[in-house]
Amino acid sequence: MNIQPHLKLEDEANFVERALIDLAGIRSGMLIKNFVSSAQKLKKFNCPSNGLPILIPLIPEMFVAYEKFDLPYERIKRLIFGSVPSNYIGCRLSLNRGNFLKRFTLNSQFQKKLDTYTREILLAQKRIQELINEFGSVGAFQTRNIPHLGHEKIIDKMLEQCELVVINPMVGPKKFGDIDCGKLRGLYDSVMKPRYKNKIHFIPIRANMFYAGPREAIHHAKLREWLGFTHFSIGRDHAGAEGVYKNNAAIEMTRKYENNLSIKIITHGGAYHCSACRGIVLHDDCNHSKEYLTEISGSEFRQTLKIQKHYSYAANDVQNWVFKNHHHLNLSQR
């Protein structure tokens, strides 16, 4: 995932919003097994197959009563992210203090939002279970990008293994340059869904990203398991940013703990244009050497869209939709 560090750190509101999203995850049941309410409970997460620990930070204005516990910053940072620089975007987004809540009563002004987020998660779970009843196998593809031909190839590959693919972006606090999920839905509903003969749906899920790379890939698979999906796709740098995790580390870790998951994992090592195959291939799908391969780059695609130029490795109908809706999409801020 190609995430640039655009975050404005003074944005304390983001921490409040993240805490509410995590609370909704816990209350809906999706993250209940991940909630850490004491230092002792953190130990379970030494094993990556349990996903990521969810800690609710002590933000005084959010709670009217609480009991807290402390954890050293370095311990949590290392556990969640591994050895990454302390200014890594994942740490800056999700860790800003070492006091966490054991028990708490939420200030009533936040209750309505928490109820809304909780309902959204439960509704997404219900819709996915209805789709499972109808189609039998449904895969989740986590992306919040305008799709280029590499994304389309991944969707094609998933459709070889499941009857339906749900584009399932995780929606957390909006960051500078993020494309609004409602607008992305417009693209998938009006362009992609008809082209894929209704084999694609778009259902976002309210949840925070940590950018914790390989460990988060497993965490994401477990969330999809809870939602009811039968398949989940994981790429070579799933939930990584700023190049801190090794290529394919997410795939390798997921494979290592795959037996602990009931969801089937579909992995892909990135998309290329192969001049020998004369088309788009996923890594390892053809045996041609590097000189034939051009990597399909999400950031290059964004750059060309920004200046309303045509990108060779994205579908015309997608690009035409983007050009038509350009003024809504916020692309110039990226």
Interface contacts to Zn ion, rule CB under 5 A: 274, 276-277, 286, 288
* CA separation for the pair 111, 27 (Å, rounded): 12
Q: Which is nearer to Zn ion, 26 or 274 (CB)?
A: 274
* CA separation for the pair 289, 5 (Å, rounded): 33
Q: Which is nearer to Zn ion, 215 or 273 (CB)?
A: 273
- Nearest distance from residue 265's CB to Zn ion, in Å? 24
- Nearest distance from residue 333's CB to Zn ion, in Å? 36
- Nearest distance from residue 150's CB to Zn ion, in Å? 14
Across the strands, what pairs with 281? Answer: 272
* CA separation for the pair 137, 76 (Å, rounded): 36
DSSP string, 47-87: SGGG---B--B--GGGEEEEEEEE--HHHHHHHHH-S--TT
- Nearest distance from residue 269's CB to Zn ion, in Å? 14
Q: Which is nearer to Zn ion, 85 or 279 (CB)?
A: 279
Two tokens, residue 274: 């192969």
Q: Which is nearer to Zn ion, 179 or 280 (CB)?
A: 280
Q: Contact, 171 vs 205, CB < 8 A? A: yes
For the chain, helix, strand, coil in percent to 5 are 45, 15, 35
- Nearest distance from residue 275's CB to Zn ion, in Å? 8
Q: Which is nearer to Zn ion, 288 or 306 (CB)?
A: 288
- Nearest distance from residue 312's CB to Zn ion, in Å? 17
- Nearest distance from residue 284's CB to Zn ion, in Å? 11
125: left (phi over 0), alpha (psi -120 to 50) or beta: alpha
Q: Which is nearer to Zn ion, 104 or 272 (CB)?
A: 272
Q: For residue 139, which of 42, 230, 3 has the smallest C-alpha distance?
A: 230
**Alpha-carbon distance values, 22 to 12, 30, 61, 64, 196 (Å):** 16, 10, 17, 18, 34
